[in-house]
Structure 1
């Protein structure tokens, strides 16, 4: 997962404004008790950050995988 796909997944799942609040303020135990923004800034894999955020926010597993990908071109 690229950073752009991560950002798209966050916006799609949580909305633009609330997604930014979550990534800034929610502490993710799976990543050592840092926020998603801090984890991305320190170089963590965006996929790991996405999955940790999903776990912390109880996103159903069916909506975690494949998130952030654009619709295929026709």
Structure 2
């Protein structure tokens, strides 16, 4: 998954006005206690970050 696809999914899940803020503030334990932005900056693959986001937000399987 490319970063562009990741952010498209984030926008779809949370709305384009909120996704970036959420990614900067919400800490996810599964990502080592980091935010989405911190995990991506540390080199965690967007696919892995999305999987963690998908679980935290309890999105439907169709959004996986």
Q: Give the TM-score taking structure 1 as reference length.
A: 0.79
Considering Cα pairs closer than 8 Å and 6+ residues apart, tell me whether 1 or 2 has the greater RCO: 1
- The two structures, once aligned, show a CA RMSD in angstroms of 1.0
Structure 1 residues 1-74: aligned runs within 5 Å: 1-64=1-64
If each structure's helix is expressed as a fraction of its own residues, which one has the higher value? 2
Q: Give the TM-score taking structure 2 as reference length.
A: 0.90
Q: Which has the larger radius of gyration?
A: 1
> How many pairs are equivalent?
64
Gaps of 5+ in 1: 65-74
| Runs of 4 or more consecutive aligned structure 1 residues displaced over 3 Å after TM superposition | none
